[in-house]
Amino acid sequence: MNARVSASRPAGRVAKPAAAQEKPVAEWQLRLYVAGQTAKSAAAFDNLKRVCETHLAGRYTIEVIDLLVNPRLAAGDQILAVPTLVRKFPEPIRKIIGDLSNEERVLVGLDVQPAR
Amino acid sequence: MARPPKTTKTSVPEAPTLPKAPTGIPGLDEITGGGLPRGRPTLICGSAGSGKTMLAAEFLVHGAVEYGEPGVFMMFEENAEELAQNLRSLGVDLDKLQKQKKIAVDHVHIERNEIQETGEYDLEGLFIRLGHAIDTIGAKRVVLDTIEALFSGLPNHAVLRAELRRLFRWLKDRGVTAVITGERGEQSLTRYGLEEYVADCVILLDHRIVDQVSTRRLRVVKYRGTEHGTNEYPFLIGKTGISVLPITSMRLDHVANSARISTGIDGLDDMLGGTGLYRGSSTLVSGAPGTGKSSVGASFVDAACRRGERALLFAYEESSSQVQRNMASIGLDLGQWERQGLLHIDASRPTLHGLEQHLVHMYELVRQVKPSVVVVDPISNLSMDKDDRALKPTLMRLIDYLKQQGITALFTSLTSDLAADVADSQVGVSSLMDTWILLSNLAGNGERTRTLQVLKSRGMPHSHQVREFVMGNKGVDLVDVYLSGDRVLTGTARISQVAQEQAASDLRRRDHERRIKELASHRKAIDAQIAALHAQAEERAGEVEFAIERERLHAEGASARSRAIAQSRDVPPPRPRLPVSAAPKKTSRKAAK
């Protein structure tokens, strides 16, 4: 499983350090693509963090990729819109675009069972 | 991989006001007066399969290879491998161009069902990708093929439209020449109204099927700030990519050649001022079925090969071997020329291609064979639709092309047998032609005869007479028609008239002979009569002399007797009487007569 995930990444790709990286292999691997430190990207990160802490506490990693810094990474995950949240694992890959302000839709999009 | 730079490009006038980026597509640069607006987006719209991607790809490849302008190809429908395959069919090696950093390819793919939307977003990711690709290779050109795919991928069209507007603005700011393709919509040019955003240049591609034959057409709908051809121009996707055929480039600048060449028909050469056609001119031979159009064409080809020139014969009715067999029957051995490589016969069904496809095929063959004469037999078959208005511009292009190459062309055209109006010139192309020869059938006396007349021939004195056109086993020739009184006689009428007049003059000759003989015999009879009378006169004269002699003797005897009696009676004799001496005088006068 782990091998497959890393194999899907192009060689020589440098990921930004994840914001919450307690475990080497998390059950939920999420990646958030943003373009610069805009209000929208900040909102998206905050929203995502809140949802994850609420429903996936301790079982997730979030990798934030700033496309302004690493523009070449946009093609790999077919990113057009920002912010885009990509659920890399568990498969299949799912994408949620927008600032993730609607918690319900984020949960549906990530296919996460609400904790309560 | 890349086409050699085209020489025609040098002749394209560069508009000083609006800088342009040449597409390198033959014809398109002429229509647009130099290419697409540099540094601005151009919209290419058309229905599925109309050649949008091909045109966009060519624009990019030519730019990268020929004009030193690297390009980014961002595609939303095909992936890189498919594009590479498509370009490979045109002889373009996309992989190599990518390695040379002349072209960057980015495939943007959106799977609608793996995307959820929550809250606000923008398409900055797209901008970043595009910007990154542009920066990587220093691109001057960008293709977005077909960006409308985003509309089906992203649910929020309001955001999308706003972002597209920003994108085109951004492309302008970056100074790249962009080509955006869009699917043709029902009401508007594009399905999602992209023309609202791309206002500088819009090119519409069209792919029509008329009578089961497809034709591609291109039109520059708008081109802000520059003049451009506004017509619909046929274009083709051939072996070397797209070529647009602007109508003659709207120029008439070929050099007229004053050299003359034979038509292969002596009588026709005589009619055309005695020396035949101008080299580089175009000739239309029109006529009803069976009037000998193909034979005129074949004679023309034969004459060219005989001079050692190359000839190209497009046969749209018969196969190559059939042409050769049939022409052998009138003594034209075309096979020998073909074996010598002088003659190239290209036989195909007119329905094989659309009209424009034919035209490009012709261009290609002409380029290949480099003939000095070209015969198209017949042009009227090129279009299934008799009223096809496309035929005329197509022919115009062909004629102009041939003229510019200095190639002498002869076109045959089939007319209906019943077409009474010769001025209704079949496909309306007679005005394009320098010489127009009309072949027609004259029916009468239970037969039809072929006649030929030169309706027009620019720049040379030509006969206005109708000549009879005969095909023997030694080729085609013309015979003077028989002018009898106010009638023009042809065929057997001519032959019988000739025979009649011949007979009449025979008769006359014999009559004269007879009359001369009669006169002679009459004279003889008179002579004989004279002789007879003469003889009669002689006879009378003899009789008279005899009678006179007898009378004289009788008289002498009487006088002797009377003298003897007188002597015996001693009487002096009487004096002789006058009539005795007068009688001989009279006789001598008669004899003298």
Residue numbers in A near B167 (CB within 8 A): none
pLDDT of residue A14 exceeding 60, the answer is no
Q: What is the pLDDT of residue B330?
A: 86
Q: Do B118 and A84 touch (CB under 8 A)?
A: no
Q: Are B131 and A94 inside 8 Å of each other by CB?
A: no
B143 within 8 A of B57, measured Cβ to Cβ: yes
To the nearest 5 percent, what fractions of chain B are helix, strand and coil? 40, 25, 35
Nearest CA to CA, how far is A22 from chain B (Å)?
28
Residue A95 counted as domain residue = yes
Q: Is A116 contained in some domain?
A: no
Distance CA A4, CA B323 (A): 69
Distance separating alpha carbons of residues B585 and B541, to the nearest angstrom = 13
DSSP H or E segment with residue B35: none
Between B165 and B229, the higher pLDDT residue: B165
A39 in contact with chain B, both atoms CB, cutoff 8 A: no
Provide the 3-class DSSP secondary structure of residue B191.
coil
Cβ neighbours of B124 in A, within 8 Å = 35, 67, 81-82
More confident residue, B514 or B484: B514
Q: By C-alpha distance, which of B277, B280, B22, B248 is closest to B140?
A: B22
B247 pLDDT band, cuts 50/70/90, is: low
Q: Has residue B296 got a pLDDT over 70?
A: yes
Is B118 in Cβ contact with A102 (below 8 Å)?
yes
- Minimal Cα–Cα distance from A103 to chain B, Å? 8
**pLDDT per residue over B359-384, tens digit each?**
777 877 887 788 999 998 888 777 65
Mean pLDDT over the full length of chain B:
81
Is A104 part of any domain? yes
In this structure, how many other beta carbons lie within 10 angstroms of the beta carbon of residue B204? 22
> For A74, which of B110, B114, B129 is closest by C-beta distance?
B129
Question: Which of A44, A68, A105 is the closest to B128 by Cβ?
Answer: A68
Count the alpha carbons within 13 Å of A60 in the hemisphere toward its beta carbon. 21
Average pLDDT over residues B476-493: 72
CATH classification at residue A85: 3.40.30.10
Residue B591 has pLDDT above 70, yes or no: no
Fold of B262-480: Rossmann fold (3.40.50)
Contact A80 B114 (CB under 8 A): no
**Chain A nearest C-alpha distance from B108 (Å):** 6
Residue B399: pLDDT band by 50, 70, 90 thresholds?
A: confident
Would you identify the CATH topology of the domain B7-246? Answer: Rossmann fold (3.40.50)
pLDDT per position as a tens digit, B546-585: 999 999 998 888 888 888 888 877 756 666 665 555 445 5
Q: Shortest CB distance from B118 goes to which of A78, A92, A98?
A: A98
For residues B318 and B347, the answer to whether their CB atoms sit within 8 Å is yes
Contact at CB, A97 and B132, closer than 8 angstroms: no
Helical (H) or strand (E) element with B504: helix B491-569
Distances (CA, A) of A9 to A4, A12, A15, A63, A69: 9, 9, 10, 13, 18
Judge: A81–B128 Cβ closer than 8 Å, yes or no: no
Q: Which amino acid does the sequence have at B254?
A: H
Q: Is A42 in contact with A10 (CB distance < 8 Å)?
A: no
Tell me which chain B residues have a C-beta less than 8 angstroms from the C-beta of A78: 108-110
ipTM of predicted complex: 0.77
Which is more confident, A28 or A21? Answer: A28
For residues B206-234, b (16+ Cβ closer than 10 Å) or e, as one string? beeeeeebebbbbbbebbeebebbeebbb
The pLDDT score that the predictor gives to residue B572 is 61
Pair type for strands B467-472 and B447-457: antiparallel
Disruptive mutation site among A48, A65, A97 for chain B (greatest number of B CBs within 10 Å): A97
Extract the runs of DSSP E, i.e. beta strands, from chain A: 28-34, 60-66, 84-89, 94-97
Interchain contact, A78 vs B108, CB within 8 Å:
yes
Tell me if B383 sits within 8 A of B390, measured CB to CB: yes
Interface touch B120/A109, C-beta < 8 Å: no
Q: Is A88 on the interface with B (CB under 8 A)?
A: no
Q: Is A107 an interface residue toward B (CB < 8 Å)? A: no
Q: What proportion of chain B, given as a percentage, has pLDDT over 90?
A: 21
Q: Are B219 and B204 in contact (CB under 8 A)?
A: yes
User: In terms of CA atoms, which chain A residue is nearest residue B125?
Assistant: A80
Nearest CA in chain B to A75: B129
In a domain? residue A2 = no
Q: Is the CB of B120 less than 8 angstroms away from the CB of A81?
A: no
Mean pLDDT of B303-318: 90
B122/A93 touch (CB, cutoff 8 Å), yes or no: no
How many whole angstroms separate alpha carbon A57 and alpha carbon A15? 22
Q: Quote the DSSP letter at residue A91.
A: S
How distant is the Cα of A98 from the closest Cα of chain B, in angstroms?
4
Q: Å from A105 to nearest chain B CA? A: 6
Give the percent of chain B with pLDDT over 70: 84
- Is the per-residue pLDDT at B416 higher than 50? yes
Structural domain count, chain A: 1
Residue A23 included in any domain: yes
Under 8 Å CB pairs connecting chains A and B tally to 97
Whether residue A28 lies inside any domain: the answer is: yes
- Peptide bond preceding B155 in cis form (omega within 30 of 0): no
Chain A: residue nearest B112 by CA?
A: A95
Q: Do A105 and B126 touch (CB under 8 A)?
A: no
Q: A101 and B118 in contact by Cβ < 8 A?
A: yes
Q: Judge whether A76 is closer than 8 Å to chain B, CB to CB.
A: no
> Which pLDDT band holds residue B400 (cuts at 50, 70, 90)?
confident
Distance in Å, alpha carbon of B42 to nearest chain A alpha carbon: 22
The arithmetic mean of pLDDT across residues B443-472, rounded, is 82
Asked whether residue A11 is assigned to any structural domain, the reply reads no
User: Which residues from A are below 8 Å from B119, CB to CB?
Assistant: 43-44, 47, 98-102
How far is it, in rounded angstroms, from Cα B41 to Cα B142? 9
Q: Which domain holds residue A53?
A: 17-109
Residue among A68, A93, A109 whose CB faces B116 most closely: A109
Q: What's the pLDDT at B2?
A: 45
pLDDT tens, position by position, B165-181: 899 999 999 999 999 99
Q: Which among A97, A42, A49 has a CA at the least distance from the CA of A66?
A: A42
Residues of B at the A interface (Cβ-Cβ below 8 Å)? Answer: 106-110, 114-126, 128-129, 131-132, 150, 153-154
Residue A6 lies in a domain: no
DSSP state of B319: -
Q: Taking the mean position of all CA atoms in its chain, how far away is CA B240? A: 28
The verdict on a CB contact (< 8 Å) between B118 and A95 is: no
CB of A97 less than 8 A from some CB of B: yes
Q: Look at residue B399 and give its three-state secondary structure.
A: helix
DSSP 3-state of B37: strand
Which pLDDT score is estimated for B312?
Answer: 92
Determine the distance in angstroms separating the CA of B152 from the nearest CA of chain A, rounded to an integer.
14
